[in-house]
Structure formats: structure tokens, C-alpha cells
Structure 1
Amino acid sequence: MHLLSLTFVSVSQEFMKATVDLADLLGLHLVMSRNAGKGEYKIMVAAMGWATAELVMSRCLPLWVGARGIEFDWKYIQMSIDSNISLVHYMAVAALVWMWTRYDLPTHYRLPVTVLLGLSMYKAFLMDCFVHVFLLGSWTSLLLKAVVTGLLSFSCLTLFVSLVHSN
């Protein structure tokens, strides 16, 4: 029973950490609302800035220090691939935030955009749970992350293109 309660506590803590990403989405909205220009440029500037800040702060130093060593380790290649996957994810999230905050968003777009925003916000939490439950290896989990991010991004792109061409 103790192990079950410990697992529940750690899962609930991870869920709460993922919920803090809502503040990131709010900050992304504020940046995009203050940036003058067309929607496509707002998305690009906000996503590239957000991705650059996050990736420099969390991955640049370990990659720079570790990959320059004498011994080669595949984890640095995985970190690089993961950074590229994250960049695609941030572009999709920025486009979703831009679509969600549009005043002229048709009502039939509101639900899919909201669902995709929720999935993108809790994607890391859901992926970690899935990897933990099915005991996936590092390369398999990276492939799964790429597939999920690709599906999320393709769905976002489909909504974005249909929204832009309908106006």
C-alpha cells in the first residue's frame, strides 16, 4: 500500500509540474500580443525565442561540456535530436496559442484548438507516464516523442492552414 501511495504522490507532483506550463502559454500569449506584425511572423518570433531560451538553459551547457569530451556517448546525439523535436513542438504550440487567442476564430475551431493545447501542455507528463508504464528504452521513447510531436504538429498545421485560407 505504501508503494501505491508513493506512486500516486509522485504522479500527482509530476501532473502539477506539467500544469505550471500553463504559465508558459500565458507568457507566450503576452509576447505574441505585444509583437507587431502579421500572425505568421508573431508565431515564428515567439516560438523561436521560447525554444531558444528553453534549449539554451536546459541543454546547451551539458551538450557543450559533455560532447567535447574524449569519450563519445550516444546521449548527446539523443539530446540533439530531442532539441529538434522540441523546436517543432514549440512552433506548433505558438501557432495554437495564436489561433486560440484570435477574436475571429470560428466556433467549430475552438474545441480542436483547445484539445490540442491541452495535449501539448501535458504531452511531457503523458509521455513520461507511457514510457514508465511500458518500460521503453531511450531510443524508443525518443521515437515515440517524435511521432507524437509530428502528429500534434500536423494537426496544428492542418487547422492553421484551413483557418488562414478561410479568412
Structure 2
Amino acid sequence: MNFYDLNVKTPQGKTIEMSNLKGKAVLIVNTATKCGLAPQFDGLEALHQQYKDQGLVVLGFPCNQFRDQEPETNDTVEESCRINFGVTFQLTEKVDVNGENTHPVFAYLKKQLGGLFGSGIKWNFTKFLVTPEGKPYKRYSPTTKPAKIEKDIKKLLKV
């Protein structure tokens, strides 16, 4: 299995095939609108705006596994993120990032890029950067601000 074998659904149930992202750097983040780290939405949106035309795709995966900090539903999460945080990058359906129902994208990324304390996701806003060739490149902690990832994005996009 590789990254391009995976897919995820949008909040509306449409399938996003990772194979359609070949040639693009992909930043995958588990998000939560009521988390203390939610101001990172601003930084993620800034990266999206700055590098989307050079080949960056930001994918936000809403997740409610950490202290119920994502109360939004698939029907409301996009509007909430747009109104409250100005998000225009692609969000997915709500997913689990740990446990028996871990979404396959996170199961794959955790296996490829284990964390400091094992492969489990410890909190909201854990980030994974995937190369334009579909290779998991780097994992970033929840507290790593999106601006700190910019140098790696620029390296992968060769800008």
C-alpha cells in the first residue's frame, strides 16, 4: 500500500482520491474547532493561500477524539471553519485518528512516521507532510505552528 492507494470522503460524502494529488505536496492535519490550538487554522489557511498555486494541498481532517473538541457535524464543520477561521482549504468528513476505527490515511501515516512517543496521535493539529511523489516526509507535533513548516514546504515544492 502507498499514499496514492488511499482516499477520504468530504463532509458531503464525495470521495477524494489521493492518487489525484500526484505531483502535489500534501499537508494533512487532524483539526478541531474548539481546541486551544484552533488559531492554527489561520496559519494553515495562510500556507494554503500562499502555496496552492505552486502545488500545496492542505487537507483538514476534523476529529472529535480529544476531549470532544470537534462538536461540529459533517453538515456544519465547513461552514463553522469558514465563518470562524476563514478556512477555504479542503476539509474531510469527521474521522478517528486513533483506535479501532482509525481512518486508513492516518493508519498509513502513523505507520510510516511514528511519533516521539509511539505512533499514536497525541492531540489535535498533529501534522503530516507528504512529498509530491507520495512519500510521507515529516510529522509535526500539535504545537508546531504552521509557519514553522513553510521551509519544508518550499523545499518540497522547489520554490
Work out whether the TM-score is over 0.5: no
Question: Of Structure 1 and Structure 2, which has the larger fraction of its residues in strand?
Answer: 2
Higher helix fraction (1 or 2): 1
Larger Rg: 1
TM-score (norm 2): 0.29
